[in-house]
Amino acid sequence: MKLAKKVLVFVVALALMSTVAATAFAAGASLSISAPATAKVGDTIEVSVTLNGAKGLTSGVFLITWDKAVLDYQGQKNAVLGEEGSAIGGEAEGGATVAINYYEAATVDSLTLTTVTFKVIGDIGDKGALNVAVFDNDIDGVDEPAAAAGSVTIVGEEPVVTDAPQPSDEPAEPTTSNDEPTKPAATTKPGTSVPKTGDAGVAVAAALVVLAGAAFVASKKTK
């Protein structure tokens, strides 16, 4: 009988120790960010924020921040809780928020709080930081998780820049030609010909002789 009691006490003590050990090593709530590691300028990306170990959560407000020189906020899709609760939020001063409220308590171990859409801006090589944390210690039902971080690096090929030709300060030399200019061709009326230089002189001399003879004859008649 005494042996049975000792065995029973030992079993109960062992069970209690197992329960304590399980509680001590149970994972608490934690936040995580899922984002693409790299993106190109102009890309549209989605960044998901998840609360792990969410079971038991009754309410919480979470703040997402990012590097606004690299990522441009486009919108967000918050968790759909249906009849269990509500999830509301959007862009706010300093970042974006999402407020979770369960009517009783969360029954899931992992809860995607929101998915934020960004457009990638900035320059190649820029690294856009992302962060999420509980806002103003506003969380109930689970221990407050530590903040989580992520990042997106802009990649791509640098544009090839070619030097434009520089204008010369020296005046351009005029273009010269060794060919003599072409003389315009003489034009004549139809049916006529251009007399040669020698023939023209003979014709003039003959005309003068004829005129002199005519003048001599006329002078004789008048006497």
pLDDT tens, residue by residue, 109-139 = 999 999 999 999 999 999 999 999 999 999 9
**In-domain check, residue 33:** yes
Question: What is the number of structural domains in the chain?
Answer: 1
CATH (domain of 53): 2.60.40.680
Question: Residue 54: inside a domain, yes or no?
Answer: yes
Residue 49 and residue 60: Cα distance in Å, rounded? 13
Q: What is the pLDDT of residues 144-184, one digit of tens each?
A: 999 999 999 999 986 666 666 676 666 666 655 555 555 55
Domain-embedded: residue 39 = yes
16 lies in some domain: no
Please report whether residue 61 resides in a domain: yes
For the sheet with 44-52, list strands across it.
30-34, 44-52, 110-120, 71-78
- Examine residue 7 and state whether it is found in any structural domain, yes or no: no
According to DSSP, the β-strands at 38-39 and 148-154 are parallel
| pTM attached to this predicted model | 0.61
Tokens linked to 79: 């968790």
Give a yes or no: residue 109 inside a domain: yes
Confirm if 132 and 31 have CB atoms less than 8 A apart: yes
- The residues, any chain, with a CB within 8 Å of residue 185's CB and separated by 6 or more, are none
* CA 168 vs CA 30, 101, 165, 171: distances in Å: 67, 73, 9, 8
pLDDT tens digits, one per residue of 188-201: 555 555 455 555 55
User: Any idea which residue has 């990306």 for tokens?
Assistant: 45
Q: What domain range is 135 assigned to?
A: 28-139
Does a structural domain hold residue 184? no
